[in-house]
């Protein structure tokens, strides 16, 4: 499998191999894009387990519809759009079933730190992640795609299905909100927020491969 991951194939070449029957190489696409997909869904879903489930569902949807992928946009843009739609659908379901106990969407809440966060060597990374979590969803998603994941304005607009001017406006407002929680001091670490650790990558890949590979 190590040799597989070193292959210099483009996404389109990998897709062609998968469609030709070489299903295991779908792993290459997942490992290549796992971090962006995780950060995209994590910007919408604050629950880590739910984010992993959304990633798996997005990969399975992409695999099932791989023949429908058209090169009008890049594969990662197409995949990110699928993942965002999946995360948004899950978020809407959560809102519908959430009890009215004062913790409904819209209220700021401080999510508990998970063990992975506590292993980070700099406390400010966790502080920034919490600050991002507190942003309203439509600002948070744009901020993560543009500032954390470093997508272009055009790519972000394509992923979210909104206008480029809307992306710029939301990013400006997201930055203004984050400055209120000392973002100016923490912004250099933005690229390290919401880390995607190897164990999570392995879990997502293993679950998807188990679903798509033929049973012995």
Phi, psi at residue 44, to the nearest 5°? -105, -40
The pLDDT of residue 120 is above 80: no
Tell me the pLDDT tens digit for each residue of 21-35. Answer: 999 999 999 999 999
Q: Where are the domains of the chain?
A: 1-98+195-216, 121-194
Mean of the per-residue pLDDT values of the chain: 79
In CATH, 1-98+195-216 is 3.60.150.10? no
**Tokens 């506590």 correspond to what residue?**
118
pTM: 0.66
Position 183 confidence tier, pLDDT thresholds 50, 70, 90: very low
Q: How far apart are CA 135 and CA 143, in angstroms?
A: 9
Instruction: Indicate the CATH number of 121-194 among 1.10.10.10, 1.10.357.10, 3.40.50.970, 1.10.260.40.
Output: 1.10.10.10
pLDDT tier for residue 7 given thresholds of 50, 70 and 90: low
| In the predicted structure, residue 73 carries a pLDDT above the cut 90 | no
């Amino acid at each position: 499998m190590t040799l597989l991951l070193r292959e210099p194939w483009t996404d389109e070449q990998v897709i062609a191999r998968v469609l030709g029957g070489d299903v295991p190489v779908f792993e290459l696409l997942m490992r290549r894009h796992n971090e962006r997909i995780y950060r995209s869904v994590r910007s919408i879903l604050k629950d880590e387990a739910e984010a992993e489930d959304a990633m798996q569902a997005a990969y399975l949807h992409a695999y099932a519809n791989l023949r429908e992928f058209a090169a009008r946009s890049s594969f990662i843009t197409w995949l990110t759009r699928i993942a965002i739609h999946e995360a948004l659908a899950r978020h809407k379901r959560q809102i519908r079933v959430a009890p009215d106990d004062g913790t409904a969407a819209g209220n700021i809440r401080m999510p508990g730190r998970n063990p992975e966060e506590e292993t980070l060597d700099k406390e400010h990374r966790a502080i920034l992640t919490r600050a991002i979590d507190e942003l309203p969803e439509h600002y948070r998603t744009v901020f993560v795609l543009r500032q954390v994941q470093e997508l272009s304005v055009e790519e972000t607009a394509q992923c979210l299905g909104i206008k480029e001017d809307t992306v710029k406006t939301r990013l400006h407002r997201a930055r203004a909100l984050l400055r209120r929680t000392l973002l100016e001091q923490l912004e250099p670490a933005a690229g390290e927020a919401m880390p995607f650790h190897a164990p999570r990558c392995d879990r997502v890949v293993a679950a998807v491969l188990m679903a798509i590979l033929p049973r012995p």
